Amino acid sequence: MNLLFLFVLAILAKCGESIMCHRCFSSMGGCGNDGVVWRMFPWRDCGESKFCVKVITHEDGEEAIIRECEDVLMKSTYHRLRMPVLRRHGYCINARKNDFWNPEQTTNPKMEYCFCNDLNGCNSAPAIYSRIAPVLSLCSVLLYLVRSLVL
């Protein structure tokens, strides 16, 4: 049983080398504000990306969402110029505003970038779920270890 547990941990460690993210737009069915239908949009390997990104845009009373890998968004000049420099897990930050005519206004409140990198598919749900999942997985591993020591 312990050998099986170590084997699973080794597989999970191998899978943890690169992050996998949902990659979709809110205009696609099943990729809206209420989350992602994972059967329609399974995780995709992001290669060298360090973060999954969720871009939320508010325009004309409507909300548009993009879920993508960080390095894919960085290939686009549109996102590269707007993406915040500070990127940390769990941060949702307004986009940069590079306005030559109004240099004092540095952020765009109509556009927000949210970053996560704690688990695969973390750009799918509200922030509370991305905080609960690692705690639950750690508790289950600790419970298994305590149980195996007692028995």
Average pLDDT estimate for 114-129: 72
50: nearest Cα among 32, 82, 73: 73
Q: Where are the beta strands (DSSP E) in 23-144?
A: 24-25, 31-32, 35-36, 44-45, 52-59, 62-69, 92-96, 107-116
pLDDT computed for residue 99 by the predictor: 78
How, if at all, do strands 107-116 and 52-59 pair?
antiparallel
**DSSP conformational letter for 28:** S
pLDDT computed for residue 10 by the predictor: 46
**What are 13-64's pLDDT values in tens digits?**
444 457 898 888 888 888 877 777 877 888 889 988 899 999 999 999 899 9
Q: Could you tell me which residue, 142 or 113, shows the higher pLDDT?
A: 113
pLDDT computed for residue 65 by the predictor: 92
Neighbours of 20 (CB within 10 A): 20
What tokens does 70 get?
Answer: 């960080």
**What are 68-92's pLDDT values in tens digits?**
999 999 999 999 999 998 888 988 9
Give the span between the Cα atoms of 26 and 3, in whole angstroms: 43
Domains along the chain with CATH numbers: 2-150 (2.10.60.10)
**Per-residue pLDDT at 129 exceeds 50:** no
Q: Could you tell me which residue, 4 or 95, shows the higher pLDDT?
A: 95
Say what the pTM is: 0.66
